[in-house]
Structure 1
């Protein structure tokens, strides 16, 4: 039986949790909570928003680790009640620090009652991996029909996206269901090889979203809408690692923008805020997004000052 759900939440995030397990020969495994949708939910909660995450988690140590992490951040976790193993991504480092990856990720979300939400976000493998992706996409349709705004981030993982054409078709279906979509330049390069990034973003805009946001790593980000293009630079920061940066960016955009009617000024402000959130995240280890106070301080820094 599925877990009971509340009647309402500000944000409903749909997607996978993953235990990222760092494995070094001769040392104990080091598991860390992860998964792009889970990171987005956690980032929104850290910014003071009411968030429910619909996901799948096992009754195992990795599942408990992730549940505790999300609960500590203020995320309400809901599952479909199915018995599953918690997804894992094992990162094995050799003596020279070279990494090899092994994924054990399945997404079999079944039909489930969800709370009413002002906004619904779908991300990553949950949007493309059968059989659960069909359920997730139907939840988007239902939410949009009920008046919720919808956002999407494919967060492409080529090893897990399956056959390329089918993956592109699933992604484009989600784009067409969304008011706001976000992708990295690397996502678009995999989805549309050899096509300029802006051209791919324009292709998505033509499918129906009000805005398409593209992150460019250290080169900043841009957004396309019916009103044209907005670009922002990445704030200067000392990079520790880039884990979770795109998810922090997504959380900050959602927390600071009405996805249904984003004007140029609103888009520019949201992108600057999101770029500051990503800069805070890359300045420290792991998927550690800023709190509302940390983000406000980062946004208030004069141009050219390093985010810490």
Structure 2
């Protein structure tokens, strides 16, 4: 049995290095998410496709090194592995250039997936970037329908990357479609505004929760996280960090939070507010450590690092 499985993109992030060069780092939001959960103690698996090229083989090795089960990862010789070039601002914020059209991760079809994995997991995670192209779009929606029927906990990252969509309107439409299946959603404040048209966090979360979502986490950078669920709303402050690269920070936060909720084995609406705020604080701490290193997966901290930083921050 798995605690969490995820489907989506697995790619190489080329992050800036010295002298204008780029350094390849393993990345992709779903696998950043799984790595964070795995390091905190979860048993995880990834469903996806990469090219049978040097990048794809390297990515498979990286996931296995992290302890993530890769038996549902396909290496396909017909397609290349997705590449993303990360452009960093002086404060560590980033922009992306993607090389993904016709690449392996968007070419996964439902008949390539062993559907029995849905009977072997407590939670199923997905992101909106699976919806940018076919056949991955149809594949993931079919899996979501099956997971919903099985009452699996479904977690969702409406991860907006403008260059990957034909238009903002198309992105919003499919990102909203994903909301119909989710129990827990993580969005940035900008993504919340994109999906709801409001910058009021309370109002925006209320609108998101009309889809049947039980917990919304809105990441606010160094300000921490705003949350909304049946027990109320609030803000959990961020942890001080020396920011160099924010790649993977939201995924690290979310993987840490979701694993703690899965481990509780309680209905989300019954989690006491103090307990939820502690869960989010641990997620904030993991994200703070992540942004102090370069790249996604390589910067995700161990459980020991997270709890040591948590003690230091008191």
Q: TM-score, structure 1 length as denominator? A: 0.86
Q: Note if 1:148 corresponds to 2:152.
A: yes
**Contact 1:109-1:133 at 8 Å conserved across structures:** no
Aligned to 1:52: 45
- The gaps in structure 2 that reach 5 residues or longer are 89-93
Tell me, in whole angstroms, the C-alpha distance in 2 between the residues paired with 1:26 and 1:229.
46
Change (3 A) 1:194 1:207: closer
Tell me, in whole angstroms, the C-alpha distance in 2 between the residues paired with 1:193 and 1:285.
33
Shift of 1:21: 2.2
Change (3 A) 1:92 1:237: closer
Tell me, in whole angstroms, the C-alpha distance in 2 between the residues paired with 1:237 and 1:30.
23
Q: Determine helix, strand or coil for the equivalent of 1:102.
A: strand
Change (3 A) 1:108 1:219: same
Aligned to 1:104: 99
Shift of 1:302: 4.2
Change (3 A) 1:29 1:224: closer
Shift of 1:32: 1.1
- Of the three residues 69, 73, 84, the one matched with 1:79 is 73
Please give the root-mean-square deviation of Cα atoms over the aligned residues, in Å: 2.7
Q: Note if 1:293 corresponds to 2:304.
A: yes
Change (3 A) 1:300 1:231: same
Q: TM-score, structure 2 length as denominator? A: 0.84
Deviations 1:15-71 (A, max 9, x none): 101211247898765211111111111111222211101111111111122112111
- The gaps in structure 1 that reach 5 residues or longer are 1-7, 94-98, 304-308
**Contact 2:50-2:74 at 8 Å conserved across structures:** no
Shift of 1:250: 0.6
Aligned to 1:120: 124
Tell me, in whole angstroms, the C-alpha distance in 2 between the residues paired with 1:204 and 1:110.
29
- Of the three residues 66, 84, 88, the one matched with 2:83 is 88
Aligned length: 294
Aligned to 1:268: 277
Higher helix residue share: 2
Q: Note if 1:200 corresponds to 2:204.
A: yes
**Contact 2:185-2:217 at 8 Å conserved across structures:** yes
**Contact 2:198-2:204 at 8 Å conserved across structures:** no
Aligned to 1:40: 33
Q: Determine helix, strand or coil for the equivalent of 1:63.
A: helix
Tell me, in whole angstroms, the C-alpha distance in 2 between the residues paired with 1:294 and 1:211.
26
- Select the structure with the greater relative contact order (CA < 8 A; seq sep ≥ 6): 2
**Contact 1:127-1:170 at 8 Å conserved across structures:** yes
